[in-house]
Amino acid sequence: MQKTPDDIIIFLLVTTSIILVMAGFVITIVLLYRKKQISYQKDIDHIKAEYEKAILNTQLEIQEQTFKNISKEIHDNIGMSLTLAKLNLNTLTPDRGEQTVKKIDSSVELISKAINDLTDISKSLNADFIKEYGLINALEQEISKLKSTGLYGIHFEIDGETTFMNSQKELIIFRIVQEALNNILKHAQANRINIRLSYHSNGIYLDISDNGIGFPKDRTGETTGKKKGSGLINMKSRALMLGGTWNIETAAHGTIIKLTVPY
Amino acid sequence: MNHDALERLIKESRQFLFTDFFVIACQLLAIVVIVRCRRRDKMVYYFLSYCCAGFLLFLSGRIRFALYTGKESTTRYLETGNVIFALIEYAVFYYYFKTVLRAKLIKAFMLIAMIVLVAVSSLFLFSVFFSNATGSRIMQLSDLIISPELIFLGILCLCYYLELLRKRPSTNLSTSPSFWIVTGLFFYTLVIPPFFLIISDDFEIQHRTVFDILAVLHYISFAFLFLAITKAILCRKPLTT
């Protein structure tokens, strides 16, 4: 007895259905696994981000503690020694003529300048200053320090209604500005710096721009994927730690850093 | 091989849409890839043995069939080869699943199945060589050994999938050798073997067209298993990953 064509079709339908059910089963397994994998990856990323945040926080704490110790050392020991040296020179009775007097006066002047500079450095290293006087005062002091060199025309602008943030956040923003200014001094060959601090309802926007030579795009790491400078990485990771954004644009006529930090 | 035998072989292959040659090609491909990968891994050697056994038994079976078709001795030879291959297959996948699966209960079942399979296969071989069992009786007996063996392996594949969904999803499935091997085995063991359990002894004679379709599907799924093994080797990771 031979099977009729209908029976063959039924048989083919049955086997095709079995194969389709099995293929569907495997595809379902793959999709479920993929879904689980995505969720697992999200968890891993979250844990990694938290871990990196904790590491960065610890690094910042250690850095601040180190800065504080250096600041204290400058103020208590070096500052004291220089003050004593200045005092000694002031109380010296010159007996070798006008030239000696001139030299002593010049030395007193140099020591005074060194004491002032060290006081400034001490203040900018010490986070207590920010806690006490706030971000704007700290920035103004940093800017006046730069202005006093006579090498830069600095324009500092504040927009919006000033809103106080917690001192830890302000300290991190201040360190980002310090890093940005430090980069301008070291690399930009600029003579104009603009700093604009805008207070918005959702956070602060900070733009730091200069009219320097800019730098090759690969140094930002954004376009070529090459290693970024540690200063740029630090700025970015600090901004991300605050839950904000950090962006850098560079061209032959200057560089602009844009930072946003939520309250 | 004489002209008639060759003609018979081609005629038979045409009925199977040349899928038997496709199986041989896939087996050869798997062997070449395994040998070329030169990996000193025990599991790779097991799979190499499996592929070689599959290749030799399948090829010799086809040649024997072409040379001595319709003879009682050919049926005995083919079915003995099938049962021996089933034993090798179960042994290889027993060691494989023993490493891949974690559930102890399943491993215990696997061991029991191994013992049962060895026992019934020995009885089968004894009946082939020392009894007057007819060709159809031998075919029936070999189906009773091979189909449950394959279905049991298929169940192990389902266990693997369940464990896959339970464990930490740290590996990418497209580069996971175990996923490829188990998927290949899953289709090979569960698409056609259940049919062999339910069809009657004279099914091949009475319903030739349906039998040919069964054989074609079985050969395709068998070839797919060897392709999956090849893909697993090409993932360049331990086969149990």
Over residues B83-108, the pLDDT tens digits come to 888 899 999 999 999 988 888 898 88
| Residues contacting residue A231 through CB under 8 Å, at least 6 positions apart | A179, A182, A183
Q: Which of A2, A11, A19 sits opposite B191 (nearest CB)?
A: A19
B207/A2 touch (CB, cutoff 8 Å), yes or no? yes
| Residues contacting residue A149 through CB under 8 Å, at least 6 positions apart | none
Q: What is the mean pLDDT of residues B116-137?
A: 82
Element (H, E) at A250: strand A245-251
In this prediction, residue A138 carries a pLDDT of 85
Kindly report the CA angle at A106 between A104 and A109, in degrees rounded to 5? 110
For B102, which DSSP code?
A: -
In this prediction, residue B200 carries a pLDDT of 64
The CA distance from A224 to the nearest CA of chain B, in Å, is 28
The CA distance from A226 to the nearest CA of chain B, in Å, is 28
**How far apart are the C-alpha atoms of A183 and A232, rounded to whole Å?**
9
B187/A19 touch (CB, cutoff 8 Å), yes or no? yes
A3/B191 touch (CB, cutoff 8 Å), yes or no? no
CB proximity under 8 Å: B 183-202 to A = 183, 186-187, 190-192
Does residue A1 carry a pLDDT above 50? no
In this prediction, residue A226 carries a pLDDT of 43
Identity at B5, one-letter amino acid code? A
The CA distance from A144 to the nearest CA of chain B, in Å, is 55
Which of B17, B182, B183 best probes binding to A when mutated, by most A CB atoms within 10 angstroms?
B183
For the stretch B18-70, pLDDT in tens is: 888 888 999 999 999 988 887 778 888 888 999 999 999 888 888 877 777 76
Q: Other CB atoms closer than 10 Å to residue B145's CB: what's the count? A: 21
Closest CA to A167 of A131, A216, A122: A131
Stretch among A58-67, A118-127, B152-161 having the lowest mean pLDDT: A118-127
B191/A12 touch (CB, cutoff 8 Å), yes or no? no
C-alpha atoms less than 13 angstroms from C-alpha of B216 in its C-beta half-sphere:
16
In this prediction, residue A224 carries a pLDDT of 43
The CA distance from A222 to the nearest CA of chain B, in Å, is 28
The CA distance from B49 to the nearest CA of chain A, in Å, is 27
**Which of chain B's residues have a Cβ under 8 Å away from the Cβ of A32?**
165
SS3 at position A10: helix
**How far apart are the C-alpha atoms of A154 and A188, rounded to whole Å?**
14
A19/B217 touch (CB, cutoff 8 Å), yes or no? yes
Token digits of residue A46? 């979250």
A7/B210 touch (CB, cutoff 8 Å), yes or no? yes
* Residue A229: pLDDT band with limits 50, 70, 90: low
Enter the ipTM.
0.75
Higher pLDDT pick, A184 / B38: A184
For the stretch B148-201, pLDDT in tens is: 888 888 899 999 999 988 888 878 888 889 999 999 999 888 777 777 766 666
Stretch among A225-234, A243-252, B146-155 having the lowest mean pLDDT: A225-234
pTM for this entry:
0.64
Q: Does B241 touch chain A (CB under 8 A)?
A: no
In this prediction, residue A4 carries a pLDDT of 58
Does residue A122 carry a pLDDT above 80? no
Q: Does A224 touch chain B (CB under 8 A)?
A: no
In this prediction, residue A223 carries a pLDDT of 40
Q: Does B209 touch chain A (CB under 8 A)?
A: yes
Does residue A222 carry a pLDDT above 80? no
For A243, which DSSP code?
A: T
**Which of chain A's residues have a Cβ under 8 Å away from the Cβ of B192?**
15
**How far apart are the C-alpha atoms of A260 and A263, rounded to whole Å?**
10
| Cβ B223 vs Cβ B22: under 8 Å | yes
Token digits of residue A25? 């089963």
